[in-house]
């Protein structure tokens, strides 16, 4: 089966022809936190670009920050007095948290830092700088000259949606007052470079030169304009933009009829959410999960893998609960399959998994870096006697790691240890958490179980070393000899060590503890 990114790459080459460079675009207004749902657009553009590069094509990925958009409303997490900045460019609104030069830069800086950890090559462009530098001046003049044609296109779609036509005074541009920087009223255009304005906020009026950057195209004109300006070949969009009569439909006609560029190939992506979370995420409402939140419990490669394997037109729910353990298991298996250490069920599935892994990686590692099993780390990080070095020692002793570890191996193991600690603290359900009892519990145990515990203690005392499998076999054999049901036997042992009926895999757990401690506890000694 062809990976969806490869399918799109082939479609782009087929429909756009052979180009010196293909341009893929993503973008957003930094009016709030850029969350994991917004990231889907960014990653979809990136991975299609990745597939094009794999075909020997030169690719430019543009991520457009629409930081020259108006500050339209005050989000819940922003002081109410910020309403005095409404209608100013978001790039010129002060940062409420005081850590960046502006409101927009606060959110842009967070996202750009998050993306840098993924190793993704991208050109971050700023609408603010492009408008202020006069780069779009010619296109703005074109839009003003072809105002009637643009209005006719927009009105056609408004009529289909049973909406009234745009007002006769409508213009394809808005004006920022050069004095107070709030939105001013458009008065007239002189047919060349000057636009007359009147500001309802500060009372200022006069003319501004389009090339000075105070005149900005409205959204439905701005988007298709930049498709032509940057010669965009592909841009994904959410289903709201791709709905019938939406901004993509109007944009297609405007870019071709007004700016003379074929509309880019699109791909609709669905929402992303967290399993169990209700409602759609919103940066302005504050109910968002950021890439930073995922970094607390997931390796960057796994984050890329989640998005790479999911078809964009399917809703994506990321499970930060118990499902996260399965995700680590799945990713590690795919990684082993890629490096030929494990085989998939059939050749077709194997090729698909390998390609998904390949597309998840900006650069595939030369070799398989040591995989510390995350599921087991969740147990080890809860052991009070084990520090980072002790955890690595247990992993080595139990055969979970190669005997020789390079720097990159150790770095990855240490990262997973930190992520496992974070997961236990933030997301692990209570039935996964445990703590080792400081002294033996006062519980009633059948004589057969007491005898079996003493025999396990004796078995441990008589051996200088043993494997987890050998201990596991001993536990079963000793119970079987006394006809103790496994469920009852394991329940008793868990209660003796952690005061719970269930717990981590018992043999691995006991083998990870200090042997003398295990022996004393099995003998119910303090």
What's the topology of domain 4-137+220-285?
Rossmann fold (3.40.50)
Query: What integer is the mean pLDDT of 157-172?
Result: 95
Query: What integer is the mean pLDDT of 46-62?
Result: 98
The CATH number of 374-432 is 1.10.10.770
Which pLDDT tens digit goes with each residue over 495-508?
999 999 999 999 99
CB 175, CB 183: distance < 8 Å: yes
Distance CA 4, CA 268 (A): 12
pLDDT at position 166 over 70: yes
pLDDT at position 98 over 70: yes
Q: Per-domain residue ranges for the chain? A: 4-137+220-285, 173-217, 374-432, 447-523
pLDDT at position 483 over 70: yes
447-523 and 173-217 share a CATH fold: no
Query: What integer is the mean pLDDT of 372-384?
Result: 97
Q: Does the global pTM surpass 0.85?
A: yes
End-to-end CA, the chain = 60
Query: What integer is the mean pLDDT of 156-160?
Result: 94
Question: Is CATH 1.10.10.350 what the domain over 447-523 is classified as, yes or no?
Answer: yes
Q: Tell me what percent of the residues of the chain surpass a pLDDT of 90.
A: 94
Query: What integer is the mean pLDDT of 334-351?
Result: 94
pLDDT at position 214 over 80: yes
Query: What integer is the mean pLDDT of 462-488?
Result: 95
**Architecture per CATH, 173-217:** Roll (2.30)
111 Cβ neighbours under 8 A, 6+ residues apart: 30, 34, 291
Instruction: Identify how many contiguous H helices and E strands the chain contains and give both numbers.
Output: 21, 12
Q: What sign results for the dihedral spanned by CA atoms 319, 320, 321, 325?
A: positive
Distance CA 303, CA 472 (A): 35
CB 122, CB 61: distance < 8 Å: yes
pLDDT at position 243 over 60: yes
Mean pLDDT over each residue of the chain, to the nearest integer: 95
Q: In b/e form, how buried is each residue of 446-457, taking b as 16+ CB within 10 angstroms?
A: eeebeebbebbb
Query: What integer is the mean pLDDT of 453-478?
Result: 96
* φ and ψ at residue 190, rounded to 5 degrees: -85, 5
Torsion-angle region of residue 463: left (phi > 0), alpha (psi -120 to 50) or beta? beta
Distance CA 463, CA 216 (A): 79
Which pLDDT tens digit goes with each residue over 135-146?
999 999 999 999
Q: In this structure, are strands 194-198 and 205-209 parallel, antiparallel, or unpaired?
A: antiparallel
CB 479, CB 486: distance < 8 Å: yes
HSE-CB at 28 with a 13 A cutoff on CA atoms is 26
Q: Tell me what percent of the residues of the chain surpass a pLDDT of 70.
A: 98
pLDDT of residue 281: 59
CB 305, CB 428: distance < 8 Å: no
- Angle between helix axes 486-498 and 447-461 (nearest 10 degrees) is 70
Query: What integer is the mean pLDDT of 73-87?
Result: 95
Of 214-223, 240-249, 352-361, the one with minimum mean pLDDT is 240-249
Query: What integer is the mean pLDDT of 58-75?
Result: 97
pLDDT at position 526 over 80: no
pLDDT of residue 155: 96
Query: What integer is the mean pLDDT of 60-64?
Result: 98
- E strands, 44-171, where? 59-65, 123-126
pLDDT of residue 286: 56
HSE-CB at 316 with a 13 A cutoff on CA atoms is 22
pLDDT at position 20 over 80: yes
Which pLDDT tens digit goes with each residue over 277-327?
776 656 555 568 999 999 999 999 999 999 999 999 999 999 999 999 999
Distance CA 41, CA 269 (A): 7
HSE-CB at 211 with a 13 A cutoff on CA atoms is 3
Distance CA 106, CA 525 (A): 58
Query: What integer is the mean pLDDT of 38-58?
Result: 97
Distance CA 156, CA 250 (A): 9
280 Cβ neighbours under 8 A, 6+ residues apart: 37, 271, 273
pLDDT of residue 245: 81
SS3 12: helix
């Amino acid at each position: 089966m062809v990976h969806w990114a490869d399918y799109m790459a082939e479609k782009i080459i087929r429909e756009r022809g052979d180009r010196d460079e293909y341009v893929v675009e993503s973008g957003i207004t930094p009016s709030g936190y850029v969350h994991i749902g917004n990231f889907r657009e960014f990653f979809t553009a990136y991975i299609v670009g990745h597939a094009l590069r794999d075909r020997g094509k030169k690719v430019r990925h543009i991520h457009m920050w629409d930081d020259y958009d108006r500050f339209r409303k005050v989000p819940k997490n922003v002081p109410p007095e910020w309403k005095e900045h409404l209608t100013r460019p978001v790039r010129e609104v002060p940062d409420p948290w005081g850590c960046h030069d502006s409101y927009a830069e606060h959110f842009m800086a967070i996202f750009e830092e998050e993306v840098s950890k993924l190793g993704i090559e991208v050109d971050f462009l700023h609408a603010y700088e492009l408008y202020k530098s006069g780069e779009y001046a010619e296109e703005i003049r074109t839009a003003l000259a072809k105002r009637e044609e643009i209005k006719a296109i927009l009105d056609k779609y408004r009529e289909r949606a049973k909406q009234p036509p745009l007002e006769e005074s409508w213009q394809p541009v808005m004006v920022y007052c050069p004095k107070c920087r709030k939105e001013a009223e458009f008065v007239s255009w002189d047919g060349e470079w000057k636009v007359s304005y009147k500001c309802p906020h500060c009372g200022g009026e006069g003319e501004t030169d389009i090339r000075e950057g105070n005149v900005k195209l409205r959204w439905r004109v701005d988007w298709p304009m930049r498709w032509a300006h940057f010669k965009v070949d592909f841009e994904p969009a959410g289903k709201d933009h791709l709905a019938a009569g939406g901004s993509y439909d109007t944009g297609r006609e405007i870019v071709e009829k007004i700016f003379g560029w074929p509309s880019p190939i699109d791909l609709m992506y669905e929402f992303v959410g967290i399993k169990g979370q209700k409602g759609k995420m919103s940066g302005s409402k504050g109910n968002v999960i950021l890439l930073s939140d995922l970094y607390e419990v997931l390796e960057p490669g796994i984050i890329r893998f989640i998005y790479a394997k999911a078809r964009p037109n399917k809703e994506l729910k990321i499970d930060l609960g118990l499902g996260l353990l399965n995700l680590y298991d799945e990713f590690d298996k795919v990684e082993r399959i890629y490096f030929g250490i494990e085989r998939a069920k059939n050749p077709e599935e194997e090729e698909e998994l390998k390609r998904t892994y390949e597309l998840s990686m900006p650069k595939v590692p030369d070799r398989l870096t040591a995989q510390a099993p995350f599921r087991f780390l969740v147990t080890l990080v809860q052991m009070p006697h084990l520090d980072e070095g002790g955890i690595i020692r247990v992993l080595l002793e139990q055969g979970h790691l190669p005997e020789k570890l390079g720097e990159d191996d150790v770095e990855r193991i240490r990262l997973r240890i930190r992520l496992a600690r974070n997961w236990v603290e933030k997301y692990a359900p209570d039935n996964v958490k445990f703590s080792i009892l400081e002294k033996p519990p006062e519980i009633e145990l059948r004589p057969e179980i007491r005898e079996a515990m003493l025999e396990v203690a004796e078995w441990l005392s008589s051996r200088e070393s043993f494997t987890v499998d050998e201990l596991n076999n001993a536990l079963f054999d000793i119970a079987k000899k006394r006809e103790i049901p496994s469920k009852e036997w394991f329940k008793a042992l868990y209660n003796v060590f952690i005061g719970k009926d269930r717990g981590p895999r018992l043999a691995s757990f006991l083998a990870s503890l200090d042997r003398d401690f295990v022996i004393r506890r099995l003998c119910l000694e303090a």
